[in-house]
Amino acid sequence: MEMTHYMSLLAENQPWNLIIFMVIPVVMAETITITEFFIIFNRIENGGIRTLNKICSIFVGLYFTGIFIYLFKNAVIPLTLTSGWHTWVDVVAVGFYLSGVVFLLPLALLELGIIFKNRTSKEKMKIHFILVGGFLVVAHIAMIFGMVNPSIINSMENMKM
């Protein structure tokens, strides 16, 4: 069975690639999401849950930026230059996975006080929530398309209507 580069990356070098590229970012995002609900519903401005949320946000933002740079340099550029993509499904899976940096890097920068420093705590909380939600959306789209067998797409082109 042919698989997307997204799935082959996770399947190779078990269990390390799975842990590095999937478990750590997703567990961090889920931890942020769960603590985010406690923070929002209880209007928590400081304390243990807020500290955990902040540490996870900074860590995953910087961590995923490293993943983005590594995979862009070692996968996206070579696959593009050699036409090695396994149909458009492969590009969508990898593209959506890597687009997570658009949400996670600003999350870290927000928590470090580098961006949005003149916003109120309520506005920052709203931005934080939107960034976490955005990452979860693109990560799930990447997972869905990453699980598709690209050979089905190729064979579907010849399908009679």
Are the C-beta atoms of residues 107 and 60 closer than 8 Å to each other?
yes
Mind listing the pLDDT tens digit for each residue in 1-59?
688 888 888 889 889 999 999 999 999 999 999 999 999 899 888 899 999 999 999 99
Q: How many domains does the chain have?
A: 1
Kindly state whether residue 56 falls inside one of the protein's structural domains. Answer: yes
Are the C-beta atoms of residues 139 and 100 closer than 8 Å to each other?
yes
Task: Provide the token pair at 22.
Answer: 């999937």
DSSP state, residue 1: -
Kindly state whether residue 59 falls inside one of the protein's structural domains. Answer: yes
Q: Is the pLDDT of residue 158 over 60?
A: no
Kindly state whether residue 161 falls inside one of the protein's structural domains. Answer: no
Kindly state whether residue 48 falls inside one of the protein's structural domains. Answer: yes
Q: Is the pLDDT of residue 94 over 80?
A: yes
Q: Is the pLDDT of residue 161 over 50?
A: no
Q: Which domain holds residue 26?
A: 5-155
Vertex 64: Cα angle to 52 and 9 (nearest 5): 125
Query: Would you say the pTM of this structure is higher than 0.85?
Result: yes
Task: Provide the token pair at 158.
Answer: 């010849």
Mind listing the pLDDT tens digit for each residue in 55-72?
999 999 999 999 999 999
Kindly state whether residue 83 falls inside one of the protein's structural domains. Answer: yes
Distance between CA atoms of 57 and 102, rounded to whole angstroms?
A: 13
H or E element: which one contains 58? Answer: helix 48-71
pLDDT value at position 113? 96
Vertex 125: Cα angle to 119 and 129 (nearest 5): 130
Kindly state whether residue 82 falls inside one of the protein's structural domains. Answer: yes
Distance between CA atoms of 47 and 64, rounded to whole angstroms?
A: 26
Are the C-beta atoms of residues 100 and 61 closer than 8 Å to each other?
no
Kindly state whether residue 160 falls inside one of the protein's structural domains. Answer: no
